[in-house]
Amino acid sequence: MRYKDKHQLAAEWQALLERTPKPLRQAVETLVEHHGQSFADHFYRVMLEDPHASLFLSNDQVEQRLHPSMQRWLKAMFAVEHADFESLVEQQEKVGQVHARIDIPVNLVLSGARQLKQVFYQQINATFKSPLSPGDASVYVSDHIDMAMEIMSHAYSVASDRNARTEEAYKLFSLTQSIGDERERQRSALLNWENALMFAIAAQQDIATLPRLSNSDFGLWYFHKACMRSRACRRLPLFHAIFSKWIVSGWKC
């Protein structure tokens, strides 16, 4: 199912912003300017205390890159005037793609969003007075964060699917390479047994002293690996019948 394009998402986000009175938006923007650092502090403190989330974070990462990035993200999210909503959409898509690349589970992202909402609500309830409505401000903040999470989650899903297909393609390539190597090894093993047999016949040696083909490296590989791996091959029963009848009569896979 095709997801909304950037133009649709940008239009939805713009409508979301414009339905909220400007004085309320300005108050939230001011709140972010004054408390953005404490919001980011709370967010990463909770994430670092979470044993699962902390696997993807370090104190150095938080201090040097992630904390400042969070503050910039909040300012961009809650700016009163957005000149380009498509750029805002693209920013959320990039975040979702990064999360997919480093394999951060979606549940951790949503947990972080919930923690962020809670600290917003607490600060709104503590500072917003009439005529500003703490309830309306909380809805505005929640809708904005939810919009960002929707876009991030879709970008995450698309990137994860792409990564999974790439990984499967690599595994298939590796498998075909392994099959090619295995084929050459077994061809060499069979030729070694054949050469030993031909040399013994030419030298009029007692071939009974030679290992049976079934006990050779190739024979052991055939009965213990090839039969198990290749049951779907149409030619295998015919080959096995000939192999068993003429060379190793009595053996069965």
Tell me the percentage of the chain whose pLDDT exceeds 90.
Answer: 25
| pLDDT given at position 245 | 53
**92-111 average pLDDT score:** 88
**96-115 average pLDDT score:** 88
Q: Which of 6-20, 98-112, 195-209 has the lowest mean pLDDT?
A: 195-209
| pLDDT given at position 232 | 46
Q: Is the pLDDT of residue 119 over 90?
A: yes
More confident residue, 144 or 102: 144
**196-214 average pLDDT score:** 76
Q: pTM above 0.85? A: no
Best mean pLDDT range from 3-7, 50-54, 124-128: 124-128
Residue 37 burial class via C-beta count within 10 angstroms: exposed 0-12, middle 13-18, buried 19 and up: middle
* pLDDT band at residue 253 using 50, 70 and 90 as cut-offs: very low
Tell me the percentage of the chain whose pLDDT exceeds 70.
Answer: 79
Q: What is the pLDDT of residues 30-71, one digit of tens each?
A: 999 999 999 999 998 888 888 888 888 777 777 778 888 999
Q: DSSP characters for 111-179?
A: HHHHHHHHHHHHHHHHH--TTS-HHHHHHHHHHHHHHHHHHHHHHHHHHHHHHHHHHHHHHHHHHHHHH
* pLDDT band at residue 183 using 50, 70 and 90 as cut-offs: confident
